Structure 1
Amino acid sequence: MGAPMARRLVEAGHEVTTWRRSDGVPVATAVDGADLIITMLSDPAAVREVLTAALPGLRPGATVVEMSTIGPGAVRELRALLPASVGLVDAPVLGSVGPAAEGTLTVLAGGDVAGWREVLGVFGSVRECGPLGSGAAMKIAVMSALVPAQVLLAETFAYGEAHGVDRNALIDVLSGTPLGTLAERLRVPSPETRYSLAHATKDLELGAWQGATMATAARARMREALAAGLGERDLTAIAGHTGGGAPRSRAVPLNLSTIPATNGMYSHAVRAGDTLYISGQAAFDEHGNIVGAGSMEAQAEHVFQVVSRILADQGAGFEDVVFIRTYLTDMEERAALGRVRRKYITGTPPASTTVEVSKLFMPGLLLEMDLIVALPR
């Protein structure tokens, strides 16, 4: 997306410096002296990493326009990260590589765009959504409808196939309904990746909330496709994956972009049927720094917050937790842990085991917790 967007800025007469992580040039050098910095990256972690590295090169009075799909929470984190003298606008887009090249994207802008409306107009139509973060929220809300709708159609095709309904005939009938445009998109899956299945899954994860039952079911189907190796394929590949004979993965790994990334040697959680196994969670941030150093209550609060996000992603809550196992480096701290735990475990308590260990995997960690959850049907 970034390359055709940069070309449009050049064609419009703007002086443009482009940068990507493979360039080998420090991003702080690339942004040095720029009035406007535009980011178009894959996920919240990538945006935080790049803008943190760019901080030394950002001049007072510059504006960052964040055009990736990262959600309103990540936009708030960026506002806290950037100096007060640097402006911030969130402006994710609707559209893929083709519309980016043609200048027909829809830009969903949040924050004060008064000085940059003309520049953003180079990419397509600009819709001002409100205060900072509202553009990011609008983008996630839209994708929370569009992506599950395509999964629904894929399952509709699978039902038709199982009952002898010709797929093209079914799409012809659907073309006369409000679902017609999406159905046509799935008639022949795109050979080029315009909107990857991995990015679509990430967008659904960013919009996870406990009441989103349809989006939760769609995420489960999408993660099966990811486990089958379709992450870099276009989202329309879901239509071929979801069929009567499509293999169903017994174990579906879950790695949320809204919590610190793993080291690649484990997943945050794994879903097997209606059971969710949550890996040991500990109090560290996306940079690997300890959260709440020396405080059991602060570390426990962080762990329970992370677990709550994983549960919400699967349409569950703490009332669905079956078993908790907690490792403490000092059993004398169990009362402090209990004060935090009682804020989250308010009903009938689950089965639990608490053990004292000499140390955990990172110096400074005081506890680690893993859980087993019975997911709502």
Structure 2
Amino acid sequence: MISFLGLGRMGALMARRLVTAGHEVTVWNRTPREVEGAVSAATAAEAVAKADLVITMLADPVAVREVLSAAVPGLRPGTLVVEMSTVGPETVAGLRDLLPPGVGLVDAPVLGSLGPAADGTLTVLAGGHAGDLARCREVLSVFGRVRETGGPGSGAALKLAVMSALVPAQVLLAENLAYAAANGVDAGTLLDVLGQTPLAPLVERVRPAVESGPSRTAYSLGLAAKDLTLAAHTTQTLAAAAGDRLRGAVSAGLGDQDLTAVFAHVAAGRTASRVRKVNPASVPATNGYYSHATRVGDLLFVSGQAALDEEGRVVGEGDMTRQSEYVMEMLARILADQGCSFDDVTHIRTFVTDMSRLREYGAVRGRHFTGEPPASTTVEVSRLFVPGLLIEVEVVAAIPAAR
């Protein structure tokens, strides 16, 4: 019996392929969903309790760890877990430590999107021990062509290497189209000429999006940004630049759109103002090594704010509530300087030195972010840049056009 965990756009299609191929399948999704012909389980642990093979297909490393952690109580010795999400080799190594002894693990991310997932023409990049690969080879072939890549983690690493070439190529093409438009070159003409070069397959793939805009989401821009973040490496300078571009598009609200939405995003940005440095007089001056914020078009990127007064002294040492209030006040002043408020914040990132004091910070934050909350990241760090600081907060905001 096969257990399939994760029924997003790709996962649901892949689970259906298994059912069509005649396999007995039990499915589970964090948001309850069903697949015709499969048994739906109430919990992840219940879904895997009788499974010989468990397949996970989820959005990111956090989701994979959460789902497998929930499934662990139901896993039996001898079960094989096949992780098919795009999570990277480091996450795969961590999953090995998470799984009980006697449970095998194969990393097998796929190349291809919704169409290939539906018709079974994906490319499966499978890494693992030879015995484990042999056990799942026939099942994986239901999804498409299986390429065995080597030992544990090799499939995950190869997937990121491939995406680090394909995704930046699309971003580069978007930037070149914007350059051409700025210099009076017709987009169709540029695409026709590039279509006669080795870039022809990519050109034909993106041409409809350039001419008519992105259609349904096959590979979301947000997932592409996530993939390039996972692939970060000192050698990945071009991929890192493409990742920055995509994260800007995500901040602009395009994360759920297809990756080809980057073409319109770059085109819209070519006429935007150049980067402006923002240092309001109402906020204590910086040390000269950074600006309090930078503005690009209608996006405002605010540096991490900490509880330091004009003399660089810690405000409210040892007092998380006082430091949080001071930080929120500084953020409010910077946002107001550019004509926006906390309601315009798209993402907030918080660094704390003691996660057990998060409730104190949360109470202060809740008084300032009173509507629907923005995207948020909170991490614990061992220390901040000045002794005595307990918290530092940075935000990204979208400045309303009318302002």
In the superposition, the TM-score normalised over structure 2's length comes to 0.65
Q: Pick which of 20-29 and 167-176 moved more.
A: 20-29
Shift, 1:250, TM fit: 3.9
Shift, 1:109, TM fit: 0.4
CA distance in 2 between counterparts of 1:156 and 1:18 reads 44
Would you say 1:206 and 2:230 are equivalent positions?
Answer: yes
CA distance in 2 between counterparts of 1:92 and 1:217 reads 24
* Aligned position for 2:254: 230
CA distance in 1 between counterparts of 2:168 and 2:85 reads 20
* Aligned position for 1:49: 66
User: Partner letter of residue 147 of structure 2?
Assistant: R
Residues 110 and 162 of structure 1: CA distance in aligned 2, closer, same or farther (over 3 Å): same
User: Partner letter of residue 271 of structure 2?
Assistant: G
Which of 73, 96, 103 is 2:120 aligned to? 103
Residues 114 and 141 of structure 1: CA distance in aligned 2, closer, same or farther (over 3 Å): same
* Aligned position for 1:298: none
CA distance in 2 between counterparts of 1:224 and 1:141 reads 22
User: Is the Cα contact below 8 Å between 1:89 and 1:110 reproduced in 2?
Assistant: yes
User: Partner letter of residue 191 of structure 1?
Assistant: S
User: Is the Cα contact below 8 Å between 1:227 and 1:249 reproduced in 2?
Assistant: no
Total equivalences in the alignment: 281
User: Is the Cα contact below 8 Å between 2:351 and 2:381 reproduced in 1?
Assistant: no
Shift, 1:105, TM fit: 0.3
CA distance in 1 between counterparts of 2:87 and 2:182 reads 38
User: Is the Cα contact below 8 Å between 1:227 and 1:252 reproduced in 2?
Assistant: no
CA distance in 1 between counterparts of 2:146 and 2:302 reads 37
Residues 55 and 278 of structure 1: CA distance in aligned 2, closer, same or farther (over 3 Å): closer
* Aligned position for 1:16: 25
Instruction: Report the secondary structure of 2:253's partner residue.
Output: coil
Would you say 1:353 and 2:386 are equivalent positions?
Answer: yes
Would you say 1:3 and 2:3 are equivalent positions?
Answer: no
User: Is the Cα contact below 8 Å between 2:89 and 2:154 reproduced in 1?
Assistant: yes
Shift, 1:74, TM fit: 0.3
User: Where do residues 40-79 of structure 1 align in structure 2 (5 Å cutoff)?
Assistant: 40-79=57-96
1:219-263 per-residue CA deviation (whole Å, 9 max, x = no partner) reads 111111111110000000101111223674543589xxxxxxxxx
Would you say 1:182 and 2:202 are equivalent positions?
Answer: yes
Shift, 1:278, TM fit: 7.7
Shift, 1:216, TM fit: 1.6
User: Partner letter of residue 153 of structure 2?
Assistant: G
Larger Rg: 2
Structure 2 gap segments, 5+ residues each: 1-9, 33-40, 273-295, 304-327, 329-347, 360-379, 395-403
CA distance in 2 between counterparts of 1:251 and 1:152 reads 24
Q: Of the two structures, which has the highest relative contact order with CA contacts closer than 8 Å and spacing of 6 or more?
A: 1
Instruction: Report the secondary structure of 1:188's partner residue.
Output: helix
Would you say 1:194 and 2:265 are equivalent positions?
Answer: no
In the superposition, the TM-score normalised over structure 1's length comes to 0.69
RMSD of equivalent CA atoms? 2.7
User: Is the Cα contact below 8 Å between 2:127 and 2:153 reproduced in 1?
Assistant: yes
User: Partner letter of residue 104 of structure 2?
Assistant: G
User: Is the Cα contact below 8 Å between 2:80 and 2:104 reproduced in 1?
Assistant: yes
User: Is the Cα contact below 8 Å between 1:105 and 1:125 reproduced in 2?
Assistant: yes
* Aligned position for 1:136: 156
* Aligned position for 1:245: 271
Identical pairs, percent = 57
Instruction: Report the secondary structure of 1:229's partner residue.
Output: helix
Structure 1 gap segments, 5+ residues each: 255-265, 267-276, 289-301, 305-324, 327-351, 361-367, 372-377
Shift, 1:178, TM fit: 1.6
CA distance in 1 between counterparts of 2:236 and 2:79 reads 38
